[in-house]
Amino acid sequence: MKRSKLRGAFSDLEQAIMEIVWKRSKATSDQVRQDLEPSRILKESTIRTMVSRLEEKGHLRHTVSGRTFIYSAVEAPQNLAIRAVRQIVEKFCAGSVEQLLVGMVSNDLIDADDLRRLAAKTKKGKRNESD
């Protein structure tokens, strides 16, 4: 899978479809359509088109059972989030995670106490890994 296929944000509908597939682990297009109801009433063909596009973009893959395509996610949502944050750090923070975190604190996205707790957890995690 090429990394370039995974670029770009999801549309609202793509995000909703991915959340269903992540939640279910595997889903048919009909299951996706049913899970989207009643908030979104869409034709089966629309859902098939959307899951096919998500597969072309490298986010989904499928297996076949009889004549039914069963879709699963290529990556966990956390992995996509990490890649997105990495791109933000590279594009907007000159590659500095510290610059991103300082900006998050400065703009009240997280507070300094949260950062200290996270630092303590990561330090504790690293100690456990070296044991």
For the chain, domain boundaries: 11-73, 77-123
How far apart CA 99 and CA 55 sit, in angstroms, is 35
pLDDT tens, position by position, 31-43 = 999 999 988 888 9
What count of other Cβ atoms lies within 10 Å of the Cβ of residue 129? 7
Give the global pTM. Answer: 0.70
As a whole number of angstroms, the distance between CA 29 and CA 54 comes to: 12
Class of domain 11-73: mainly alpha
User: Taking a C-beta distance cutoff of 8 angstroms, is the pair 6, 59 a contact?
Assistant: yes
Give the tens place of pLDDT for each residue, 52-87. Answer: 999 999 999 999 999 999 999 999 999 888 888 898
